[in-house]
Amino acid sequence: MSLAPQSISTSMISSSSSAFLSPSNLNFNSRQNAWVQAKRISVCKCVAAPQEEKIAYKTKVSRNGNLGKLQAGYLFPEIARRKAAHMLKYPDAEVISLGIGDTTEPIPEVITSALAKRSYALSTQEGYSGYGAEQGEKPLRAAIASTFYKDLGIEEGDIFVSDGAKCDISRLQIVFGSNVTMAVQDPSYPAYVDSSVIMGQTGEFQKDAEKYGKIEYMRCTAENGFFPDLSTVARTDIIFFCSPNNPTGAAATREQLTRLVQFAKDNGSIIVYDSAYALYISDDNPRSIFEIPGAKEVAIETSSFSKYAGFTGVRLGWTVIPKELLFSDGFPVAKDFNRIVCTCFNGASNISQAGGLACLSPEGFKAVHEVIGFYKENTDIIVETFNSLGFKVYGGKNAPYVWVQFPGRSSWDVFSEILKKTHVVTTPGSGFGPGGEGFIRVSAFGHRGNVLEACKRFKHLYK
Amino acid sequence: MVQPSLTVRKEGVGRCTKVHRNFNLEKLRNGYLFTEIARRELQHLEKYPNAKVISLGIGDTTQPIPDNISMSMANYARALATAEGYRGYGAEQGNKELRKAIAETHYKDVLVKESEVFVSDGSQCDIARLLLVLGSNVTVAAQDPSFPAYIDSSVIVGQAGDLEDEVGKYCNIEYLECGPGNNFFPDLKGTSRTDIIFFCSPNNPTGHAATQNQLEQLVEFARNNGSIIIFDSAYAAYVTDGCPRSIYEIPGAREVAIEISSFSKFSGFTGVRLGWTVVPEELLFSSGFPVINDFNRIICTCFNGASNIAQAGGLACLSSEGLEAVHSVVDYYKENTKILIDTLASLGIKVYGGINAPYVWAHFPGRKSWDVFAEILEKTHITTVPGSGFGPGGEEYIRISGFGHRESILEASRRLEALF
């Protein structure tokens, strides 16, 4: 059977349709590893096949229905795809990427020399090490505990070093299994929802609402200060909460997190608290959920070296699971996580871990703060730009993301307009959930020159 | 590999949440095998603090990584401190150059495209990701005995059903017995159809490398049943006698098999973390949907790529200088394994494997493998792995790994000679 393509007009791609339908005319074909002219297919009619077509061999293995529920590719590869398509179309344009939150500044030397030193050591008898503890090297676990959780009652043994928060989220989902219900902020980092769909925790995608069935979406808007009205949130087993928030940039206050912890306690839920941007906080909002009394009985915290040390490619993160966190039958969650870590993982790279340890040395930590400071200055420049243009601007103070409102407009349309007219890549808010519609996320990772140039172009476009 | 301390304080003991424990995890009876071996070794060290324990249990590499490879990684790391050399997020599928090098080096005589190679942080992680792609509704077959991650991950994902305690088998898993009686290749005629077939060759723990003929039978079996083979070729570099190193040497395999492999035992990257999975374009689900598309989606959503430094190391391993250096280390371990085989054979112990893999599979008829393990540990201070840890088909066997410093291997041989 061949498919007769029907071309689609952009009017069919409205803000209420699936967030990822693309009007672009180029597709990256991973099989051919090349960009190919896209068949502009959205609705397909089957017609009789010409006789010469070979029938491909198919196995008898049914596709995992959960993967069939996913509406499109993961958000960030889609942004990358669009950017690449744009660059092909405008080969002379100087495209500036403020879309995917990819770090750009070099890693401080005190840290890279530790990475290099460990690499060299692996070629010596004394320095060679094979398999490491799957939970991570002891000195690093201890350093994470003392740097981030001093006086919070979190110990080295509660820390599990990983190759990053995204991977940890999926490992946590594997621990939880398919029979748990989950709640997310809306908008939120797409890996929470996507991994939930993959695990089979959700129902089908409801096109009208742009939501998956069985997920509790906790609306975070300008009106509610980007903290959900918990009195309207149904009980779920798991609550994903990211603060400072990606994409809105909002950092929850102590008072808000106290209410969240109480909510979890009352409902017997487990909070998965993503604190990957904690070091970007400017004011005195909590940097860890464990600053809230009682949190150890209801929360897991996950974090990452990606946005602190520019380790986006080096790969290093961690998850904290307190001993006090128990399933309904009293079984410690940490024990099951440990089992997954030992069976489905084999530890973060030893070289990356040596780098992590250097990040947490006094000299390394100081250098890390300098790089963070640099990105925060970038963020200030972007905030100031959009403010001066009369936009309603959120975030930016406690996170490297600026959440700009474009009331009444489809975020993918705004994304396309900005890309086309200024050659700047951003991220459309609806990619983070229906609550992101009407917003654009501008990330502050970039060389200073690029950020300044991008802001100049924004000023020109929206003056 | 020590379990974290989990004593919940009595006073103000943690209050339970209302979240039910994942019942799949309840089905795992014990800790992961190698975690248990590590625990026993530590316990032994505590009991005999002056004993010189020799670890021939967990297959952990011991020889340094060749200079040119670690130098590449060091250089790459240093470059991350410069504007020109800094790299952020890499492609989740892996660095293009490395994917190309893997396709050209490991698959030069068979048709594997760069775009079908997915670089990872190791096979154990890839196995879990593959099972995540496949979901809980598929049926699984695995060799018996086999690397425990296949079955354990299958249990975790919900494919395995309940454990039948008396036989030590999960009721939904098809166990493909491999022993001396059937030339370490399962009798496929008597095997029920499953969606997925895990097959490791050269085999961990038995050391047997399947022949061309055996793999042709396996591919035919998979084709006839519409099954998918997950072929673990982590020990391909240890093949000595011309047995196939890749499933794709078998015609028709591209439409029925995924291949996983690793730099761990190839380049001593057990701690550095690097591996890969090949998913051919022609591999389709029953609906015609390409498996590669779903694998790619999982990679992009549940993973963020292998460490860029490790990947730089991997690329160096596959340069001609790197390959030469890496193969000398592999030869070193192969010589170790030969020493162990010769020792055990001279003691009249029936040994298998060791020719195409760094593992010796020693038979102790009529004895429980955990008892033999304990006896060897207690009397010679050598850690091995009891065969039943790899499945009921491993009972009466002990796996001895050939990874170690030469002196340790020689000393271990002396002690075994004294014991037996």
What pLDDT is recorded for position A14?
A: 30
ipTM of predicted complex: 0.95
Pairs across A and B, CB distance < 8 A: 380
Cα separation, B154 vs A59, whole angstroms:
20
Interface contact A310, partner B, CB < 8 A: yes
Instruction: Work out the mean pLDDT of chain B and round it to a whole number.
Output: 95
Q: Please indicate whether residue A25 or residue B169 has the higher confidence score (pLDDT).
A: B169
- Among B331, B397, B390, which Cα is nearest to B360's? B397
Residues 360-419, chain A, touching B (beta carbon < 8 A): none
What pLDDT is recorded for position A73?
A: 83
Question: What are the chain A neighbours of B6 within 8 Å (beta carbons)?
Answer: 157, 323, 332, 334-335
Residue ranges of E strands in A9-145: 26-29, 34-37, 44-47, 96-97
pLDDT tier at B316 (50, 70, 90 boundaries)?
A: very high
Tell me the nearest-neighbour CA distance from A389 into chain B, angstroms: 31
pLDDT tier at A41 (50, 70, 90 boundaries)?
A: very low
pLDDT tier at A74 (50, 70, 90 boundaries)?
A: confident
- B19 vs A106, A237, A324: nearest CB: A237
A56–B62 C-beta distance less than 8 A: no
**Could you give the angle at the alpha carbon of A338 between the alpha carbons of A332 and A343, nearest 5°?**
135
Q: What is the mean pLDDT of residues B191-216?
A: 98
What pLDDT is recorded for position A53?
A: 57
How would you classify the pairing of strands B397-401 and B385-386?
antiparallel
What pLDDT is recorded for position A55?
A: 82
Q: What is the mean pLDDT of residues B360-367?
A: 98
Interface contact A186, partner B, CB < 8 A: no
Residue B203 has pLDDT above 70, yes or no: yes
Tell me the nearest-neighbour CA distance from B374 into chain A, angstroms: 23
pLDDT tier at A72 (50, 70, 90 boundaries)?
A: confident
Here the tokens at position A97 are 């990427």
Cα separation, B132 vs B298, whole angstroms:
8
Residue A387 has pLDDT above 50, yes or no: yes
The string of pLDDT tens digits covering residues B234-292 is 999 999 999 999 999 999 999 999 999 999 999 999 999 999 999 999 999 999 999 99
Residue A292 has pLDDT above 60, yes or no: yes
Cα separation, B393 vs B395, whole angstroms:
6
The string of pLDDT tens digits covering residues B119-150 is 999 999 999 999 999 999 999 999 999 999 99
Phi, psi values for residue A326, rounded to 5°: -125, 145
Report DSSP state, residue A434.
Answer: G
- Among A459, A392, A398, A456, which Cα is nearest to A429's? A392
pLDDT tier at A51 (50, 70, 90 boundaries)?
A: low
Of A55, A63, A76, A102, which to mutate for an interface test with B (greatest number of B Cβ within 10 Å)?
A63
What pLDDT is recorded for position A75?
A: 92
B69–A107 C-beta distance less than 8 A: no
- A59 vs B5, B88, B227: nearest CB: B227
- Among A202, A204, A212, A201, which Cα is nearest to A179's? A201
- Among A198, A205, A201, A206, which Cα is nearest to A181's? A201
Residue A322 gets the label, from left (phi > 0), alpha (psi -120 to 50) or beta, of: beta
- Among B327, B322, B273, B319, which Cα is nearest to B97's? B319
What pLDDT is recorded for position A356?
A: 98
Here the tokens at position A72 are 């499109």
- Peptide bond connecting B358 to the previous residue in cis, omega within 30 degrees of 0: no
Q: Report the share of chain A in percent with pLDDT over 90.
A: 87
Q: Please indicate whether residue A10 or residue B363 has the higher confidence score (pLDDT).
A: B363
Cα separation, B96 vs B305, whole angstroms:
12
Half-sphere exposure of A80 (CA within 13 A, CB side): 15
Question: What are the chain A neighbours of B7 within 8 Å (beta carbons)?
Answer: 323
Residue A18 has pLDDT above 80, yes or no: no
Residues 6+ apart with CB under 8 A from A196: A173, A182, A184, A202, A212, A215
The string of pLDDT tens digits covering residues B147-165 is 999 999 999 999 999 999 9
Here the tokens at position B270 are 């057990």
Q: What is the mean pLDDT of residues B182-202?
A: 97
Of B10, B27, B67, B70, which to mutate for an interface test with A (greatest number of A Cβ within 10 Å)?
B70
Give how far Cα B322 sits from Cα of A151, B274, B314, B334, Å. Answer: 48, 15, 9, 18
Structural contact between residues A349 and A106, judged by C-beta atoms closer than 8 angstroms? no
What pLDDT is recorded for position A36?
A: 46
Tell me the nearest-neighbour CA distance from A172 into chain B, angstroms: 11
N- to C-terminal Cα separation, chain A: 52
pLDDT tier at A21 (50, 70, 90 boundaries)?
A: very low
Q: Is A421 helix (H, G, I), strand (E, B) or coil?
A: helix
Residue in chain B closest to A34 (alpha carbons) equals B115
Question: What are the chain B neighbours of A296 within 8 Å (beta carbons)?
Answer: 14
Q: What is the mean pLDDT of residues A113-134?
A: 97
- B82 vs A103, A106, A167: nearest CB: A106
pLDDT tier at A451 (50, 70, 90 boundaries)?
A: very high
- A338 vs B3, B73, B148: nearest CB: B3
Q: Report the share of chain B in percent with pLDDT over 90.
A: 95
Structural contact between residues B219 and B188, judged by C-beta atoms closer than 8 angstroms? no
- B14 vs A131, A325, A336: nearest CB: A325
Question: What are the chain B neighbours of A342 within 8 Å (beta carbons)?
Answer: 1, 31-32, 34-35
Residue A335 has pLDDT above 80, yes or no: yes
Residue in chain B closest to A76 (alpha carbons) equals B300
Residue B30 has pLDDT above 90, yes or no: no
Q: What is the mean pLDDT of residues A196-218?
A: 97
N- to C-terminal Cα separation, chain B: 31
Cα separation, A123 vs B153, whole angstroms:
33
Give how far Cα B415 sits from Cα of A222, B351, B380, B396, Å. Answer: 73, 17, 6, 21
How would you classify the pairing of strands A317-320 and A26-29?
unpaired
Residues in chain A: 463
What pLDDT is recorded for position B29?
A: 83
What pLDDT is recorded for position A200?
A: 97
B96 burial level (CB within 10 Å; 0-12, 13-18, 19+): middle
B88–A180 C-beta distance less than 8 A: no
What pLDDT is recorded for position B5?
A: 41
Tell me the nearest-neighbour CA distance from A207 into chain B, angstroms: 21
The string of pLDDT tens digits covering residues A260-287 is 999 999 999 999 999 999 999 999 999 9
pLDDT tier at A91 (50, 70, 90 boundaries)?
A: very high
What pLDDT is recorded for position B366?
A: 97
Question: What are the chain A neighbours of B133 within 8 Å (beta carbons)?
Answer: 64, 67
B64–A127 C-beta distance less than 8 A: yes
Looking at the DSSP bridge assignments, the partners of residue B173 are B140
Residue A43 has pLDDT above 80, yes or no: no
- B81 vs A104, A107, A131: nearest CB: A107
How would you classify the pairing of strands A401-405 and A393-395?
antiparallel
Q: Is A102 helix (H, G, I), strand (E, B) or coil?
A: coil
B12 burial level (CB within 10 Å; 0-12, 13-18, 19+): exposed
What pLDDT is recorded for position A231?
A: 97
The string of pLDDT tens digits covering residues B377-420 is 999 999 999 999 999 999 999 999 999 999 999 999 999 999 99
Structural contact between residues A182 and A399, judged by C-beta atoms closer than 8 angstroms? no
What pLDDT is recorded for position A404?
A: 98
- B25 vs A102, A336, A345: nearest CB: A336
Q: What is the mean pLDDT of residues A210-219?
A: 97
**HEC sequence for chain B:** CCCCCCCCCCCCCCCECCCCCCHHHHCCCCCCHHHHHHHHHHHHHHHCCCCCCEECCCCCCCCCCCHHHHHHHHHHHHHCCCCCCCCCCCCCCCCHHHHHHHHHHHCCCCCCCHHHEEEECCHHHHHHHHHHHHCCCCCEEEEECCCHHHHHHHHHHCCCCCEECCCCEECCEEEEECCHHHCCCCCHHHCCCCCEEEEECCCCCCCCCCCHHHHHHHHHHHHHHCCEEEEECCCHHHCCCCCCCCHHHCCCHHHCEEEEEECHHHHCCCCCCCEEEECCCCCECCCCCEHHHHHHHHHHHHCCCCCHHHHHHHHHHCCHHHHHHHHHHHHHHHHHHHHHHHHHHHCCCEEEECCCCCEEEEECCCCCHHHHHHHHHHHHCEECEEHHHHCHHHCCEEEEECCCCHHHHHHHHHHHHHHC
